[in-house]
Amino acid sequence: MSLKVRAILVVVIGVVLGLSLSVGGGLIGDRPTLDKQELAWQQARLFAEVFERVKRDYVEPVDDAVLLESAIRGMVRDLDAHSQYLDAREYRDIRVSTMGSYSGIGVEVDSVDGVLRVVTPIAGSPAARSGIQSGDQIIAVDGVAIEMASLQQTVGRLRGHAGSRVTVTVLRDDVAIEHEMRRQVIRVASVHKELLAPSLGYIRVSQFSDNTARELGRAVDELQIASGGMLEGLVLDLRNNPGGVLDSAVDVSDLFLDVGVIVSADGRSYDSRFTRSAHRGDILDGASMVVLVNKGSASASEIVAGALQDHDRALIVGTPTFGKGLVQTVVPLTKGRAIKLTTSRYFTPSGDSIHEVGIEPDVFVEDTPGFPDLTLSGMVDREADAQLAGAIEYLQPRAVMHSNAQ
């Protein structure tokens, strides 16, 4: 066994034994503690044995640091489907996604049929100004060809310091086109609004970032101004919203509630046990609400839907939600790395855990294929979208009745 592997074994055994002693909680003479120590020794020796075998016999040379990082990734990944080790780049990306802004060219991309295609350039972004269009295939960044096996690295090369130059080559109608541009700070709006009818508003939330509650509050104000007074009804669309920042979900719920628990959580550490409650002040002043959900509504979306449903503040329309009732905490580590670790289970105001169950809608309406994607005009289609049509059908009579009472 090499000196380097012996050193790794010493470190692994030290860490594992330290953990086993703290978990065992007994004196050294306690039999249960000895059993755990022996098991820890066996697993540490096994780790070192596998490490040495891979180093010696794998078809290609593997760096020690790469092997150890892979071991760390596996340790965290095997805990559950949501815990994850983040290297410096991944940690930076996750922080960017929660802030709602980043420095880049402003283009949404997706892997389609083995190629990297532009979904849409963000309005006003360098990509939009340079003429990049939806459907373009990105084939190179700064002259380096796209490799689908390292898609994250490619997306990372599109980002960079504001003001720095980047050249993006796209393929359109079998013609390669180079676009040279300067990166800038891109602000990603998570809220889309529209007035469906006089005094009837529609707001779609695509994700929950740090700015979402502020954006949503501003959207409601603008809809009220456009309608010439207080809204009589609002559709809050959370379909295909994968979640995001828990505190953002709490703040969004709080916009429409006057009192009561929004969400509670229970975990092993002190910080993982908490209860979040509403503060007085409903920005709709009690006007009717419908929340649209589907199987793509998860995590923070389910917190909002569950809180508004349990407090009878909104009617939930659509299909059952995804069912992610776990809270992840991002824990910073050395050298810009982090782990995203499941630390709590959360519960709706009624005390229910929705993990692997989801939230059942009050009114079941099957998904319409292609929705809730917005059309190219940016407008919703209230006729072809059956779930939205069901929400409007519920709200319009109530809006009329509410108006007559004034």
For 228-250, b where at least 16 C-beta lie within 10 A, e where not — what string? eebbbbbbbbbbbbebbbbebbb
Catalytic residue of the set 20, 251, 288, 324: 324
Pick the closest to residue 62 from 49, 51, 47 (CA basis): 51
**Sign (positive or negative) of CA dihedral 391, 392, 397, 400:** positive
DSSP code, position 325: -
Instruction: Return the exposure string of 92-119: e unless at least 16 CB atoms fall within 10 Å of the residue's CB, then b.
Output: bbeebebebebbbbbbebeeeeeebbbe
The tokens describing 83, both together, are 């815990």
> In 3D, which of 79, 106, 102 has the Cα closest to residue 89?
102
Q: Identify whether 210 is a catalytic site residue.
A: no
Q: Which of 297, 299, 301, 344 is catalytic?
A: 299
Catalytic residue among 237, 251, 254, 310: 310
Judged by phi (left if over 0) then psi (alpha if -120 to 50, else beta), residue 4 lies in: alpha
Measured over the CA atoms of residue 109, residue 111, residue 112 and residue 116, the dihedral's sign is: positive
Catalytic status, residue 310: yes
The question of whether 301 is a catalytic residue gets the answer no
C-alpha span between 216 and 195 (Å, rounded): 14
CA–CA gap between residue 176 and residue 267 (Å, rounded):
54
Contact 36, 24 (CB under 8 A): yes
Which residues are tagged catalytic?
299, 310, 324
